Amino acid sequence: MNATTTYTARAHTNIALIKYWGKKDEKLILPMNSSLSLTLDRFYTETSVMFDEQLKDDLFLLDGSKEKNDKISNFLEIVRQKANITAKAKIISKNHVPSTAGLASSASAYAALALAASKAAGLNLDKKELSRLARRGSGSACRSIYGGLVEWQEGIDDQTSFAHPIEMSRDFDIAMIALVISTDFKKISSRAGMKRVVETSPYYPAWVQNTAKDLRKLKQAISKNDFETFGEVSEENAMKMHALNMSAHPHFNYLEPDSIKAMKIVEKLRSQGVSCYYTLDAGPNVKVICRRKDIQAIVDRLSDSFGQEKVLVAGPGPAAHLI
């Protein structure tokens, strides 16, 4: 094989409503619990891959600059093994999402890379295989293979741990407003944060048990089109995850003063009758879960306090696809 065709894929980020926060197998990236997320239209990654026998090393360009990234080469090694090839690859990626700020860039990154790299290597994976492959790069990425609401079933091994879409009724009305509080490099990556929690939080077993319950409640709320329960369960599950971080040793915390300020604003709006809830991932940015009809009121309120440019509105986004 000489140089192969270049394939370009686009994958959208997803925000978990029931969080993945801990691995039972670090090498295969098998999670301690199943999780459920919403893929977003607003934030995505586009990645092009070409394998070339002439290359001495994998070459990775992120947003125009060359990056040394061992995770990418380890991931490509899995693809090469599956496809039975040895050629190194040129990877060009562009994030339409702030990198490393807890807006889930690793999810869109590895979903796009899994699709583009598997195609460029001559593999024709079905969605389940793609989801399993994306999972090996970053756990949350297995959910970004699909659009809309997506569940990652934890499984017991590499074959059984993958995502699948969750039916949502046509009139299930949902939007997500991201408040960008900081795009600084985060101090503790998701990978390191969840590992520390699994190893040191005395509350970890309770998290695993309780999250299984939250997931059942959330799925029931989706099937009944019960937006209030949907929001409530999501918000509570996120807070339990952040409580784990504060109970780790050494303890840590992704929240900033402005995160708390935004959370209070959402609570206030709620007490005034606007049905809105928050969730936060491994970073200080706050994502507000709401109905489309309430977007403007929430955007106005957050813009007053933080500035309009910090408030980004998203809706359900599509599955990963080639472009």
Please report, as ranges, the residues that interact with ligand ADP according to CB under 6 A: 45, 62, 69, 71-72, 93, 95, 99-100, 102-107, 109, 138, 189-190, 281-282
Beta carbon nearer to Co ion, 215 or 282: 282
Helical spans, DSSP H, in the chain:
70-83, 105-120, 127-137, 190-200, 204-223, 227-246, 257-271, 295-306
- The three-point CA angle 100-105-106 to 5° equals 100
Q: Is there a cis peptide before residue 250, judged by omega within 30 degrees of 0?
A: yes
223: how many CB neighbours lie within 10 A of its CB?
13
Beta carbon nearer to ligand DP6, 187 or 293: 187
Task: Give, as ranges, the residues between 143 and 172 that touch Co ion (CB under 5 A).
Answer: none
- The three-point CA angle 240-29-33 to 5° equals 35
Q: How far is the CB of 106 from ligand ADP (least distance, A)?
A: 3
Copy the structure tokens of residue 66.
């060359």
**10 binding ligand DP6? (CB under 6 A):** no
Beta carbon nearer to Co ion, 147 or 283: 283
Helix (H) or strand (E) holding 90: strand 88-96
Beta carbon nearer to ligand DP6, 4 or 37: 37
Q: Which of 106, 201, 259, 285 binds Co ion (CB under 5 A)?
A: 106
Beta carbon nearer to ligand DP6, 87 or 145: 145
Beta strands in 7-77 (DSSP E): 7-18, 23-25, 30-31, 35-52, 59-62, 65-66
What are the backbone angles phi and psi of residue 262, rounded to the nearest 5°?
Answer: -65, -40
Q: x/- contact string, 278-317, with Co ion (CB under 5 A)?
A: ----------------------------------------
Which residues lie across from 65 on neighbouring strands? Answer: 62
Integer angstrom CA distances of residue 3 from 49, 54, 109: 11, 8, 23
**134 binding ligand DP6? (CB under 6 A):** no
Q: x/- contact string, 190-209, with ligand DP6 (CB under 6 A)?
A: xx------------------
Number of residues this chain uses to bind ligand DP6 (CB under 6 A):
15
**254 binding ligand DP6? (CB under 6 A):** no
Whether 107 contacts 13, CB under 8 Å: yes
Task: Give, as ranges, the residues between 262 and 281 that touch ligand DP6 (CB under 6 A).
Answer: 281
Helix (H) or strand (E) holding 179: strand 175-179
**190 binding Co ion? (CB under 5 A):** yes
**Region near ligand DP6 per CB under 6 A, out of 16-24, 62-70, 125-133, 287-295:** 16-24
Residues that bind ligand DP6 (CB under 6 A): 16, 19-21, 29, 35, 104, 106, 138-140, 190-191, 281-282
Residues that bind Co ion (CB under 5 A): 106, 190
